Amino acid sequence: MPPVGNIGANLVSRPVRNDTINVSNAQDVQQSGSGVSAVRPDVVRAAGRQEVPRADLSKLRAQKQSPLKEKLSQYKPMHLAVSVPPDNSSAVVSASTLTSKEIHSLTRVIKKMLGNERFHDPADGRIIMHNALADTLQPRINNGAQLYQSIMSGEQVTSDKDAVRDLMTFLSVRAQQKSVTFSEGAFVLEDQGGRLKNFLDRNPEGYIRASTHIKEYQAAGNTHRGIDMELPFAKGTLLYGAMPADTPDGKDRVFLKMEPHGAALSKLFGRNSGVEAASRRFKWADIGHFLRHIKTTIFRPKEGGSRKERVSTDIKKGFTNLIADFKKVDPEFANILNEGNPAGSNSGLGVARMMRNCQNAQAALSRIAQRLGLDSQIVSDCKEQLQQFSDTMKLRYDNISLRVGDEIVFTNAELTNVDESRSTSIEGLTRALCKHSLSLPQGATPTANFVQKFAVLLTRLTNVLPDDQEVEDDSEGPLAQSLSKELQTLSDEQRKDIVDLLQTPQMLEFSKTVGDTLTMAKTDAEAGVCMELLGGISTLADGVGLNILDVLERTAPNSNLDSVLIIRDLVNVSERLNRESA
């Protein structure tokens, strides 16, 4: 490999390579003996070289990607391996978590240092670029996590653009841990006492602005604000607003959303009257930002990986159908379900309110049935419908009590405490599995969400085992040893609780479906996940003195659990874990 300084001189006499040509302008393309060259015939003649016939490009599809873009797409360092506080779990995240300015700056520096050829060499430039991006991103994540800890502990942290950028970088990385395709959308964070909002209010670049989001809270006087700055995923402004306690848990929240363009001109008058935090002065750049904001608001381009605070269409439709069905039984029943209009577009507590209303409807069912003299079968059908809808939401969402719609939701505990369910050690995940197994109240029915989390923990646990020992048939493997060590710390009553859990209809049906899916698996990934799950369940059962296979042979479990859907999600989880560990 020649020194960096000599690469530029060497390229002058080097012929144009086949893989660095854009054929978007077909008239300038001709074919030579060594490949395709973007040189016009008159230039060739002037250089004293032989002109050759033009290539026939009549069959080239209009929308076909150019060879240059097609070639460079494999060099682009799109994903980075990072460590994520507070538990230092590993994650693979998009390079776009860095700001566009940082990515472009690094690209220019490294390209200048290496030269064009080495920069596009997958065995050289790609690795250097990948490492440079990761080295830049990691301190941003660490600082953002520390800032969040300090803010929520009550410290008066300086609120400047760097602090806000690092905070949003940390939250964006955590969002990608929850949803691997996340690239835009809203956050709702638990914010007891408004500490996070107060931190943002202290930023001198903040201003009051108009917003179309969660209007229910804006109507109650919680004005939205913006801070224009470089943010992850090529966003240019942070929109935020308070969501005071109106949740089943009685917790304050804050709404955050990164958007492409600012909207400082959306509030022209009364910006600093009767407000807690003043707005900055107007800037000439606000005009361009606002015009672009209007354009994106009108056309609303669809992007992949969006997690917005709107209730999913299928959930909203299912809820409105539920109201219509119960209205036929009794209008009071329908009114209980629709209290606060949780399916409305302006709702600030859509999913959380739906769940709360379903619980209230179940509590009122006996009273309404007695007043109307309803048949027991009708009462049973109503209970089943409410339970099915509740289970659907529990399977779809986490942190339901704080949730508006499909946004990313974080509790304070998720962002500050060490969560062993995200551990990468056998011991940590074993503790998390046993802790989760004992978290079900005595006599309670395992929900779909509970079974799914149990299965995810087991999948993560089997994933960290040595490749040649992922499924253990004997009692000496690392999984059996780790489980035995953890189970020894439990009381006899706690071990009995795990025995009872594994024999509930929901857990038995899940175990049986895993076995059935294994025998009919259509892909190696599906078969692998099911084999690991069976081995893990059997090992856990053996550890508490239960022969789970014998129990399955003697029973025919029947519940409303959608085990097939859970297994399908586990295949995706397993594939993501394999990518992260690669």
Q: Could you give the angle at the alpha carbon of 170 between the alpha carbons of 164 and 172, nearest 5°?
A: 100
Q: How far apart are CA 421 and CA 89, in angstroms?
A: 10
Q: How far apart are CA 155 and CA 158, in angstroms?
A: 9
Q: How far apart are CA 264 and CA 243, in angstroms?
A: 21
Which pair of tokens denotes residue 551? 């129990």
State how far the alpha carbon of 330 is from the alpha carbons of 320, 325, 334, 336, 383, in Å.
Answer: 15, 9, 7, 10, 14
Q: CA dihedral in degrees (186, 190, 193, 197; nearest 10)?
A: -20
Residue 348 has pLDDT above 60, yes or no: yes
| CA neighbor of 529 nearest in space, from 540, 517, 539 | 517
Predicted confidence band of residue 288 (pLDDT cuts 50, 70, 90): confident
Percent of the chain residues past pLDDT 70, beyond the cut: 76
Could you say which DSSP state residue 178 is in?
Answer: H
341 contacts 220 by C-beta, under 8 angstroms:
no
Average pLDDT for residues 132-150, to the nearest whole number?
Answer: 94
Average pLDDT for residues 243-272, to the nearest whole number?
Answer: 77
- Min mean pLDDT across 1-5, 212-216, 460-464, 495-499 is at 1-5
Residue 553 has pLDDT above 60, yes or no: yes
Q: At what angle do helices 448-463 and 376-396 cross, to 10 degrees?
A: 30
Could you say which DSSP state residue 401 is in?
Answer: G
Q: Which of residues 467 and 571 earns the better pLDDT score?
A: 571
Predicted confidence band of residue 51 (pLDDT cuts 50, 70, 90): very low
Per the listing, tokens 């080239």 go with 60
pLDDT at 579: 63
189 contacts 254 by C-beta, under 8 angstroms:
yes
Average pLDDT for residues 251-275, to the nearest whole number?
Answer: 79
Residue 57 has pLDDT above 50, yes or no: no
Q: How far apart are CA 364 and CA 229, in angstroms?
A: 50
Q: Cα-atom radius of gyration of the chain, to the nearest Å?
A: 29
Q: Which of residues 338 and 346 earns the better pLDDT score?
A: 338
Amino acid at the residue 82 = V
Residue 170 has pLDDT above 90, yes or no: yes
Question: DSSP per residue over 259-293, as a string?
Answer: ESS--GGG--S-TTSS-SSPPPPP-THHHHHHHHH
Q: CA dihedral in degrees (350, 354, 356, 361; nearest 10)?
A: 150
Q: Where are the alpha helices (DSSP H) in 91-124?
A: 100-114, 116-119
Q: How far apart are CA 371 and CA 252, in angstroms?
A: 38
Per the listing, tokens 């001109």 go with 265
Strands (E) across 350-413 are located at 408-410
- Using CA of residue 330, residue 332, residue 334, residue 337, what is the dihedral sign? negative
| CA neighbor of 24 nearest in space, from 11, 36, 41 | 36
Strands (E) across 386-515 are located at 408-410
Q: Which residues contact 143 (CB under 8 A, 6 or more apart)?
A: 166, 170
Average pLDDT for residues 154-164, to the nearest whole number?
Answer: 92
294 contacts 242 by C-beta, under 8 angstroms:
no
pLDDT at 272: 63
Average pLDDT for residues 131-147, to the nearest whole number?
Answer: 94
pLDDT at 341: 87
For the stretch 322-342, pLDDT in tens is 999 888 888 888 899 999 888
Average pLDDT for residues 213-220, to the nearest whole number?
Answer: 77
| CA neighbor of 501 nearest in space, from 438, 433, 566 | 438
State how far the alpha carbon of 353 is from the alpha carbons of 195, 357, 410, in Å.
Answer: 25, 6, 18
Q: How far apart are CA 366 and CA 382, in angstroms?
A: 11
Mean pLDDT, the chain, integer: 77
Predicted confidence band of residue 4 (pLDDT cuts 50, 70, 90): very low
Predicted confidence band of residue 559 (pLDDT cuts 50, 70, 90): low
pLDDT at 302: 57
pLDDT at 45: 40
Average pLDDT for residues 307-317, to the nearest whole number?
Answer: 85
State how far the alpha carbon of 53 is from the alpha carbons of 21, 31, 45, 521, 567, in Å.
Answer: 18, 7, 13, 55, 58
Domain map (residue ranges) of the chain: 69-174, 184-302, 313-406, 420-581
214: left (phi over 0), alpha (psi -120 to 50) or beta: left
Tell me whether residue 81 is exposed, middle or buried, using C-beta atoms within 10 angstroms of its C-beta: 0 to 12, 13 to 18, 19 or more: middle
Predicted confidence band of residue 206 (pLDDT cuts 50, 70, 90): very high
Residue 466 has pLDDT above 80, yes or no: no
- Using CA of residue 370, residue 374, residue 375, residue 376, what is the dihedral sign? negative
Q: How far apart are CA 201 and CA 227, in angstroms?
A: 9
Residue 249 has pLDDT above 80, yes or no: no
Residue 300 has pLDDT above 70, yes or no: no
Q: Is 305 helix (H, G, I), strand (E, B) or coil?
A: coil
312 contacts 405 by C-beta, under 8 angstroms:
yes
For the stretch 394-447, pLDDT in tens is 888 888 888 988 999 999 888 986 566 666 678 778 888 888 898 888 778 888
Residue 113 has pLDDT above 70, yes or no: yes
For the stretch 478-537, pLDDT in tens is 778 888 888 887 778 888 999 999 999 888 888 888 888 888 877 888 888 888 888 889
pLDDT at 246: 63
Could you say which DSSP state residue 299 is in?
Answer: H
Percent of the chain residues past pLDDT 90, beyond the cut: 23
Residue 472 has pLDDT above 70, yes or no: no
pLDDT at 187: 95
Question: DSSP per residue over 406-417, as a string?
Answer: SSEEE-HHHHHS
- Min mean pLDDT across 42-51, 87-96, 127-136 is at 42-51
Which residues on neighbouring strands pair with residue 238, listed in sequence order? 227, 258
